[in-house]
Structure 1
Amino acid sequence: MARNPKYQKAHCLILSRKPLREADFLLTVFSREQGKIRVLARGVRKANAKLAGRLQQLYNVEIYLAGSSLWPTVTSVSIINKYPKIRQSLSALAIAFYAAELVTKLTPDAEINARIYELLDRFYSELNSQSKNIEFSEKDRTWPPILEKFRLDLLRIVGHGVTTRFCAHCGVKIAAGEATAFSSFAGGVVHTDCGKHFPDTRLVSEITAGQLAILDQQALEDVADLTVGEEGHRCISDFVVFLLERDVQSERFMEKMRQE
């Protein structure tokens, strides 16, 4: 039977959900068709609600929406992917929640960008495949490369790419073995002399500069065997905070897990 044209179909990744009134959820989703939007799931907190199990955070779903109000109402749901193995690893789950929060904070409402939807789906799919091997290593001072690659790719898509192979100030390529620094104000890696123009410049090791450059050139699906140290992770995190002018709350949870 043909769908009523008053209903809109959307392919969505569920970023978060918030209880509303006695029985509803307000969902923040990133849809391929409409970008980041908020939708109302009525009655799903009731014990016998049919849609409740299909609207979990991090699910990839196909939904139909009714109404043209601020919060259109979900009328039906089909699950595309649950990424079930992510929930079997606390480390993978922490990274997935971080990614959802980062997308929420970096993207405006109702701005169509299918590349973000596709990146997040690829990221969750890869995280699902790698879940058993995802860990935070306080001993080795390393971070999961898939997390750092996702952040670099997302920042580039939203128009704030981190410069990793060329000086973010003068544009000259960073030579192998050359002393380098990092500045969020400048937008990435800089020559040490160029770094003097920016108040937040910090020296970084040759190893860190190399790790960021290699990571930036690889596909998301090809970074599992790469290494990203504490210094490289901190550079990207500081850049994110610089852009947002606030912390990403779920990073604190990742930090706590890493220390345990």
Structure 2
Amino acid sequence: MAYLKTPGLVLRNLNYKEADKLLTVYTLEYGKVPAVAKGVRKVKSSMRGGIQLFSHSDFVFYHGRSLDTVTQCAVIEPFPQLRSDLDRFAFAAYFAELALESVPEREANPDIFYLLLTCLHLLVTHDPELVTRLFEVRLMNVLGYAPELTNCLYCGAEVKGRMRFSLQDGGLVCTDCAPEAAKLVYISPGAAANLKALSTMDLDKCGRIRLSTALRQELAALLSQYIETQLEREFKSRAFLDSLNQV
């Protein structure tokens, strides 16, 4: 058995036995790692800070058959703001669930690690809804579900005027090809343009985007439907976010 050393983000943190924690850590070098941190709920544990939910920490794991064991943990960035603010906590929890449920265990993907890390930083300082749209778009791109936002999926013609979007096939559909498409929804030119911008812009420039209330609602609904269709599941944390927005 080997010791594994890597930076990681704590995306799941559950009490286990009398003083342990069960963790799911998204690591830079090994992807999603399930692990147990023994004795960390004791007051004197030196690892308490590093295993807090959403913390960015340096980990040393002892590699086991099903669960690794955290043997060392040193916090890099604790992100306390994401645990003390209910709204930001809810958005961060949604990021975590999306990432954890869309990838297999122990397959490294540095793009997902850095996307998570960057968007957690942005969540502290930027508009949470806008950061969430950025995270959704870029995660789907990394996973191979980048939508076609210029030409028709079927015939390749440029789509203008009233636009339709296929949730199943992932992109714009022209009027002529619409009868062939499945799970069509209408999408405004403004929404399509902003999806393009979110797909290509530098992550830390997302604060430059200005969206009307109508566009915010349209993008949130479209991306929620698209993600659930492509990943074939519903996300509990998304339902919780929606309930907060209705309060």
Match of 2:244 in 1: 257
User: Which residue does 2:168 correspond to in 1?
Assistant: 185
Q: 1:192 is paired with a residue of what secondary structure?
A: coil
Contact 2:167 2:185 in 1 (8 A): no
User: Could you report, residue by residue, the CA deviation over 1:170-196 in whole angstroms, capped at 9, with x for unpaired residues?
Assistant: 333334xx2101111121232233232
Match of 2:149 among 164, 173, 179: 164
- Name the CA distance, whole Å, in 2 between partners of 1:215 and 1:66: 39
Q: TM-score, normalised by structure 1?
A: 0.86
Hey, what does 1:248 align to over in structure 2? 235
Sort the Cα spacing of 1:88 and 1:192 in 2 relative to 1 into closer, same or farther, 3 A: farther
What residue is the counterpart of 2:205 in the other structure?
222
Aligned 1:87-236 pairs, distance under 5 A: 87-130=83-126, 133-134=127-128, 144-175=129-160, 178-226=161-209, 227=211, 228-236=215-223
Secondary structure in 2 matching 1:96: helix
* 1:6 Cα offset (Å): 4.2
Determine if the alignment matches structure 1 residue 71 to structure 2 residue 58.
no
- Residue of structure 2 in register with 1:24 after alignment: 20
Point out the more displaced range, 215-224 or 82-91: 82-91
Equivalent position SS for 1:54 = coil
CA distance in 1, matches of 2:218, 2:179: 20
Cα–Cα, structure 1 residues 211 and 6, in superposed 2: closer, same or farther, change >3 Å? Answer: closer
Query: 1:49/1:240 Cα in 2 relative to 1: closer, same or farther (>3 Å)?
Result: same
Change (3 A) 1:174 1:82: farther
Q: Aligned pair in 2 of structure 1 residues 257, 73: CA closer, same or farther (>3 Å)?
A: same
Rounded to whole Å, the distance in 1 between the matches of 2:40 and 2:135 is 32
Relative to structure 1, is the Cα distance of residues 8 and 183 closer, same or farther in structure 2, using a 3 angstrom cutoff?
same
One-letter amino acid of the counterpart of residue 112, structure 1 = A
CA distance in 2, matches of 1:211, 1:112: 30
CA distance in 2, matches of 1:119, 1:193: 37
Paired residues of 1:14 and 1:29 also in contact (CA < 8 A)? yes
Unaligned runs of 5+ in 1: 135-143
2:49 match: secondary structure: helix
Residue pair 2:32, 2:100 contacting (<8 A) in 1 also: yes
Q: How many matched pairs?
A: 243
Between the two proteins, what is the percent identity of the paired residues?
28
If the length of structure 2 is used for normalisation, what is the TM-score?
0.90
Between the aligned partners of 1:83 and 1:195, the Cα distance in structure 2 is: 46
One-letter amino acid of the counterpart of residue 59, structure 2:
I
CA deviation after TM superposition for structure 1 residue 222, in Å: 1.4
Q: Report the alpha carbon displacement of residue 238 of structure 1 after superposing the two structures with TM.
A: 0.8
**Aligned counterparts of 2:201 and 2:162: Cα–Cα separation in 1:** 23
* Alignment of 1:40 onto 2:40: no
**Aligned counterpart, 1:140:** none
Instruction: Give the secondary-structure state (helix, strand or coil) at the position aligned to 1:182.
Output: strand
Q: CA deviation at 1:88?
A: 4.5
Displacement after TM superposition at 1:87 (Å): 3.5
Letter in 1 for 2:68: P
Aligned equivalents of 2:60, 2:3: Cα separation in 1? 6
Is contact 1:169–1:186 with CA below 8 Å preserved after alignment?
no
Could you tell me which residue of structure 2 aligns to residue 137 of structure 1? none
Distance 1:191 1:256 in 2: 35
Say which SS state the counterpart of residue 208 (structure 2) adopts.
coil
Partner secondary structure for residue 207 of structure 2: coil
**Alpha-carbon contact 1:150-1:220 (below 8 Å) kept:** no
Contact 1:116 1:157 in 2 (8 A): yes
Point out where structure 2 has 5 or more consecutive residues left out of the alignment: none
Cα deviation, residue 126, structure 1: 1.4
CA distance in 1, matches of 2:156, 2:222: 19
Deviation at 1:127, TM superposition (A): 1.4
Bigger shift: residues 244-253 or 188-197: 188-197
